[in-house]
Amino acid sequence: TIPPEAFPELQRHPARYWQRIALAAWLLATSGISLQLEVSEHLAQLLGIHNPESGSIKRLLNVTLYEEHGLVERTKEPIHLVYQERVHLLQLSARGRSLASALGIQPVTSEWQQFRDHHRGDTDQRHTAACLKFAYFFRAKGCHVEVLPKVTGRTRPDLLATDNGENFYLEVETK
């Protein structure tokens, strides 16, 4: 495919790089995954790149999509979890969702946005990041994960992980 007419600045990229941009937009739009580490791993796998921390993946997400074209929004500073681990959250921006729509993709609500809308995701980014890191762990083990699942009652658990038909509701606590 070629960049949509509404995004002429994307046409300056070589066709192969444009395909990476479109693939990243597709991944973010269809999965809703917001932990940059997990997005990087999926992109590396889809692109046949051995190291998800490679410069080409970082440039695609941090420079091309975020800084140059404003197709994603991301936490300004890395979020400190435990020990020395720091993570970023990201999602398609309004412009990125427009690109996805122009490519015929109906974007889902990102996991980060779900926390922002329903669980103080802007005021407690560390909690949001910790929840999404646990979601990543469970998905890596083959579980289906739903963030902020609807349940009867007044409160919602942070995550629902389903493995072989067995449901595990998780409430993530941070200090």
pLDDT (tens digit, 9 = 90+) per residue, 64-82? Answer: 999 999 999 999 898 988 7
The pLDDT score that the predictor gives to residue 93 is 98
Q: Any residues with CB less than 8 A from the CB of 143 and at least 6 apart, and which?
A: 161, 162, 163, 168
The pLDDT score that the predictor gives to residue 26 is 97
Average of per-residue pLDDT values in the chain = 92
Q: Any residues with CB less than 8 A from the CB of 164 and at least 6 apart, and which?
A: none
pLDDT (tens digit, 9 = 90+) per residue, 6-64? Answer: 888 998 899 899 999 999 999 999 999 999 999 999 999 999 999 999 999 999 999 99
Query: What pairing do the DSSP bridges indicate for beta strands 159-163 and 144-147?
Result: antiparallel
The tokens describing 107, both together, are: 């974007």
pLDDT (tens digit, 9 = 90+) per residue, 101-156? Answer: 999 999 999 999 999 998 876 678 899 999 999 999 999 999 999 999 999 888 88
- Report, as an integer, the average pLDDT of 154-163: 91
pLDDT greater than 70 at residue 1:
no
Task: Tell me the three-class secondary structure of the chain, residue by residue.
Answer: CCCCCCCHHHHHCCHHHHHHHHHHHHHHHHHCCCEHHHHHHHHHHHHCCCCCCCHHHHHHHHHHHHHHCCCEEECCCCEECCCCCEECEEEECHHHHHHHHHCCCCCCCCHHHHHHHHCCCCCCHHHHHHHHHHHHHHHHCCCEEEECCCCCCCCCCCEEEEECCEEEEECCCCC
Q: Rounded distance, CA 123 to CA 107, Å?
A: 25
pLDDT greater than 80 at residue 89:
yes
The pLDDT score that the predictor gives to residue 142 is 96
pTM for the model stands at 0.91
